[in-house]
Chain A
Amino acid sequence: MIASVSSATLLGVDGQRVAVEVHVSSGLPGFTVVGLPDTACREARDRVRAALLSSELGWPLRRVTVNLAPSGVRKQGAGLDLAIAVGLLMADGQLPPGATDGLALLGELGLDGTVRPVPGMVPLVDALPNGGVVVPWSCVAEAELVGRHQVWGVHRLVEVFDALRGRAAWPEAPSPVAVVEPAERQPDLAEIRGQAVGRLAVEVAAAGGHHLLMVGPPGSGKTMLARRLPGLLPDLGTDEALAVTRVHSAAGLALPPGGLVRRPPLRAPHHGASAVSLLGGGTSLMRPGEISAAHNGVLFLDELGEFAPSVLDALRQPLEEGVIRVSRARASVTFPARFQLVAAMNPCPCGIGGPPGSCRCTESARARYGRRLSGPLLDRFDLRIEITRADPTELLGLDQGEPSATVLERVLVARARAMARGTATNSAVPAHRLDEVAALTPSASALLRDSLRAGVLSARGLHRVRRVARTIADLGDRAGPLTDDDVSLALQLRSEPDRLGVAA
Chain B
Amino acid sequence: MRGPTPEQPAAPWVLALSGLAGMGPKRLGALLGRWSPAEAWNRVVDGRAGEDPQVRADAGPVREETWGRWAHAARSVDVDASWEAHRRAGVHVLVPGDAHFPDRLADDPEPPAILFVQGDLAVLTDRPSPAVAVVGTRHCSHVGRLVARQLGYDLARAGVRTVSGLALGIDGAAHDGVVTAVGERPDRGRPVGVVGSGLDQVYPRGNARLWADVASAGVLVSEYPLGTPPDRWRFPARNRLVAALADLLVVVESPRTGGSIHTVEAAIARGRTVLAVPGSVRNPAAAGTNDLLAAGCPMVRDVDDVLMVLGLEGKAPTASAEPAPTAGPAPAAAPTAADEVMVALAAEGATLEQVVVRTGLALASVARRLAELERAGAVTRVGGWYLPGR
Q: Which residues of A contact B (CB under 8 A)?
A: 194-197, 200, 215-216, 347, 354-360, 363, 385-388, 390-391, 394, 397-398, 447, 450-451, 454, 456, 484-486, 488-489, 491-492, 495, 499-501, 504
Contact = CB atoms under 8 A, between A and B. Distances in A.
B367 A499 contact: no
Nearest to A391: B354
Contacts of B119: none
Given A355-B348, A360-B139, A485 B384 contact: no
A495 B352 CA distance: 13
Nearest to B282: A355
21 contacts: A196-B357, A196-B363, A197-B353, A197-B363, A215-B384, A216-B384, A355-B348, A355-B385, A357-B283, A358-B139, A358-B284, A363-B204, A363-B206, A385-B384, A388-B384, A391-B354, A447-B371, A488-B367, A489-B367, A491-B367, A504-B383
Contacts of A486: 364
B384 A488 contact: no
B351 interface: yes
Nearest to B362: A485
B352 A197 contact: yes
B206 A355 contact: no
A356 B387 contact: yes
B381 A355 contact: no
User: How would you classify the secondary structure of chain A's contact residues: helix, strand, loop or mixed?
Assistant: loop
A373 to B, nearest CB: 15
B383 A485 contact: no
B371 A451 contact: yes
A357 B354 contact: no
Given A347-B383, A354-B284, A501-B383, A363 B141 contact: no
Contacts of A501: 383-384
B84 interface: no
B357 A194 contact: yes
B139 A357 contact: yes
Interface of B: 137-142, 144, 168, 204, 206, 253, 282-285, 348-349, 351-354, 356-358, 363-365, 367-368, 370-371, 374-375, 381-385, 387
Contacts of B140: 357
B351 A388 contact: yes
A457 B27 CA distance: 55
A498 to B, nearest CB: 10
Contact of A488 (B204, B356, B364): B364
A357 B285 contact: yes
B367 A492 contact: yes
A388 B363 contact: no
A398 B349 CA distance: 21
A194 B363 CA distance: 12
Given A194-B353, A356-B141, A451-B371, 13 more contacts: A215-B383, A216-B384, A355-B348, A356-B385, A357-B140, A357-B285, A358-B283, A358-B284, A363-B138, A390-B353, A391-B354, A447-B371, A488-B368
Contacts of B353: 194-197, 388, 390
Nearest to A359: B139
A488 B349 CA distance: 20
A489 B363 contact: yes
Contacts of A194: 353, 357
B276 to A, nearest CB: 16
A388 B357 CA distance: 14
Given A195-B353, A358-B285, A501-B383, A454 B375 contact: yes
A501 to B, nearest CB: 4
Contact of B368 (A196, A386, A484): A484
A109 to B, nearest CB: 60
A486 B140 CA distance: 35
Given A357-B284, A357-B285, A450-B375, A485 B368 contact: yes
Nearest to A198: B353
Contacts of A360: 139
A360 to B, nearest CB: 6
Contacts of B168: 363
A485 B141 CA distance: 30
A30 to B, nearest CB: 72
A461 to B, nearest CB: 14
A456 B354 CA distance: 21
A386 B384 contact: yes
A360 B257 CA distance: 12
B281 to A, nearest CB: 13
Contacts of B352: 196-197, 492
Given A197-B352, A388-B384, A485 B284 contact: no
